[in-house]
Structure 1
Amino acid sequence: MSELNDFGGGQDPAGGVLVVTTNDVPGHRVVRVIGEVFGLTVRSRHIGSQIGAGLKSLMGGELKGLTKTLVETRNQAMERLVEQTKARGGNAVLMMRFDVTEAADVGTEVCAYGTAAVIEPIG
């Protein structure tokens, strides 16, 4: 189970905010659109992982240290997205996306963004 959490991620079900990549949520209606929200983080590269990645790239294969770092980074960006949504009174993020870019050759910038909204079950 540990490897599942190390190399994958997603939303914490206890977070109180539903995050979806779709425009709507089946069985729910959008009561109010709050607007764009995002969670941003920039992570520098660890010198040990850079050396390990350099050696691994000579032999081929997955760079597990870098994969774990990127998963942690995406999860942190997602947590910040959820915090922003809650702070604005939302209980859902629609059309969530990630944007990943290099940040001035010193790290990786990860931004989770979407549309904050208030949704409620139909019926």
Structure 2
Amino acid sequence: MLITTTENIPGKNYEIIGEVFGVTTQSRDVLSNFGAGLKNIVGGEIKGYTKMLTTSRNNAIDRMCDEALEKGADAIVMMRFDSGSIMQDMQSVVAYGTAVKFIN
């Protein structure tokens, strides 16, 4: 599945199928939260949270692609991410874009 953040795909004509999205919500375990609290005191990257967000992003993209494939899409244009916290230790990530079908 071709995914782009741009509106146009050079050399391709397409018709718009519609909006597609994928969402996931993840949380860290208590031990990771404790480690993050310690890291907050001394500073630096909190690798557990970075890993969680990377996994969330990839899951959201996969789910968005699944929805696009179900609709018969060849590509997704104008792809974007949105994210937000739910409580203190949960993160929600949404990938969304416009599913398109190539035409001659």
Scaled to the shorter chain, the TM-score interval is over 0.9
Q: Which residue of 2 aligns with 1:7?
A: none
Contact 2:33 2:89 in 1 (8 A): no
In the TM superposition, residue 105 of structure 1 has moved relative to its aligned partner by: 4.1
**Percent identity of equivalent pairs:** 43
Deviates more, 1:35-44 or 1:101-110: 101-110
Which residue of structure 1 lines up, in the alignment, with residue 20 of structure 2? 37
Cα distance in structure 2, aligned partners of 1:119 and 1:51: 49
Q: Give 1:45 shift.
A: 2.4
Partner of 1:117: 100
Name 2:43's counterpart in structure 1. Answer: 60
Change beyond 3 A, Cα 1:104–1:59:
closer
Counting matched residue pairs gives 104
The one of 27, 33, 46 equivalent to 2:29 is 46
What SS does the aligned partner of 2:40 have?
A: helix
Aligned partners of 1:58 and 1:106: how far apart in 2?
A: 17
Contact 2:19–2:99 (8 Å) recurs in 1: yes
Matched AA of 1:103: I
1:101 to 84, 87, 95: 84
* Structure 1 unaligned spans of 5+: 1-16
After TM superposition, the score normalised by the length of structure 1 is: 0.79
Deviation at 1:26, TM superposition (A): 1.1
Q: What aligned pairs does 1:84-95 form with structure 2 within 5 A after superposition? A: 84-95=67-78
- Superposition RMSD in Å: 1.4
Residues 46-68 of structure 1, C-alpha deviation per residue, up to 9 Å, x if partnerless? 21211111101111111111101
Aligned-residue offset at 1:107: 1.1
Q: Name the TM-score, length of structure 2 as normaliser.
A: 0.93
Question: Counterpart of 2:17 in 1: which secondary structure?
Answer: strand
Distance in 2 (CA, whole Å) between partners of 1:66 and 1:105 is 12
